[in-house]
Amino acid sequence: MAIAATDNPVLQEQQGDSLGSPPFDTTTVSVVAVVQSRLAELSDALDKVVGHLERPVACSASRVEPLCRDLISRRVWEPQNGFGETVAHLVVRHHLPVSHIDDIASAFPVTWSNTTKHPFHIKDQTDQEATPLIRAVATRKYEHAAALLRGRASTVQQDVWGRTALHYATMRGDVSALSRLGSLMDASSIKDRRGRLPLDYVDRPDWCRDGLASYGVDFQEYDPTAVRACFSRAPASGGSRTVCASKPMILFIPANHGPREAKKDKASSA
């Protein structure tokens, strides 16, 4: 049976207006609001749980350090989590003691084959595809960067944007770091995927800002003249070249340690 329209506001609220809109119940609306709010809270909680499962090492440094010590003692170098991070990446990201980097370097053999990557040369599987050295320099962990260089970390490897550690050191404009980490200058002639040399970033704060933002770091103004002086003092590294970030790194085997040198020594002794 149809309900007759009325001008009584109370009846309109209960029955609907003359156009036949559904009845308006304040109790129902309040219950719906509570349920929606509760569902939003549950959704946030679920996101946190899923995020924790996807990022098993996204926790405090005090929990990560025992794991790193154990991995180093067992000489486990391969990626350990969903981010593809090795123990060296974890040491850098969680700002663990630099001695861990030295322990990795001393535990890894002096010689290695092209099929066995040095632990400092492995890129993570984050959006940046960074080596431990690139991440250390980009996030201003220079003590870790120095230890990585002592441990034979490659200075010419590139992240997903084709940038080397020197690109990020230049973006920061930290003259003391550029002077201290002098071997970074070995990459001064390497261009990123946009054809930019590290020195090209000196006069482009907008490029520096965007580049550092990719690692969650803020850009700070610096004196470009002092940075240019660091490059001018660096030894020439030959013509400019572009190295593909995805190209496999050919690892250096120190002299007198490879099989060819061993054969020569054996022949000469005979």
Q: What is the pLDDT of residues 64-100, one digit of tens each?
A: 889 888 888 888 877 778 888 999 999 999 999 999 9
The answer on pLDDT for 226 being more than 70 is yes
Residue 147: Cβ within 10 Å count: 27
Distance between start and end Cα atoms, the chain: 115
Contacts of 171 (CB under 8 A, 6+ apart): 201, 207, 208, 211, 212, 219
Q: What is the token pair recorded at 138?
A: 């980009």
Percent with pLDDT over 70 in the chain? 65
The answer on pLDDT for 242 being more than 80 is no
DSSP H helices in 55-160:
61-73, 87-93, 99-107, 132-138, 142-150
Contacts of 21 (CB under 8 A, 6+ apart): none
Span 14-38, average pLDDT: 62
How many residues does the structure list for the chain? 270
Integer Cα distance of 130 and 138 in angstroms = 10
Could you tell me if 174 and 222 are in contact, meaning their C-beta atoms sit under 8 angstroms apart?
A: yes
269 or 70, greater pLDDT:
70
Could you tell me if 128 and 167 are in contact, meaning their C-beta atoms sit under 8 angstroms apart?
A: no
Integer Cα distance of 39 and 143 in angstroms = 46
Integer Cα distance of 188 and 164 in angstroms = 9
Could you tell me if 227 and 198 are in contact, meaning their C-beta atoms sit under 8 angstroms apart?
A: no
263 or 156, greater pLDDT:
156
Q: How distant, in Å, are the alpha carbons of 64, 77, 128, 146 from that of 69?
A: 9, 12, 26, 20
pLDDT (0 to 100) of residue 210: 95
Q: What is the token pair recorded at 226?
A: 């002092």
Segments making up each domain of the chain, as ranges: 56-154, 155-248
Angle at CA of residue 178, ends 201 and 61, nearest 5°: 100
Helix, strand or coil, per DSSP, at residue 181: coil
Residue 250 carries which side chain, given as an amino acid letter?
I
215 or 38, greater pLDDT:
215
Could you tell me if 243 and 158 are in contact, meaning their C-beta atoms sit under 8 angstroms apart?
A: yes
Comparing 40-49, 107-116, 215-224, 260-269, the range with the smallest average pLDDT is 260-269
Angle at CA of residue 124, ends 253 and 208, nearest 5°: 100
Span 22-38, average pLDDT: 68
The answer on pLDDT for 240 being more than 60 is no
Type and span of the H or E element at 241: strand 241-242
Q: What is the token pair recorded at 118?
A: 């040095």
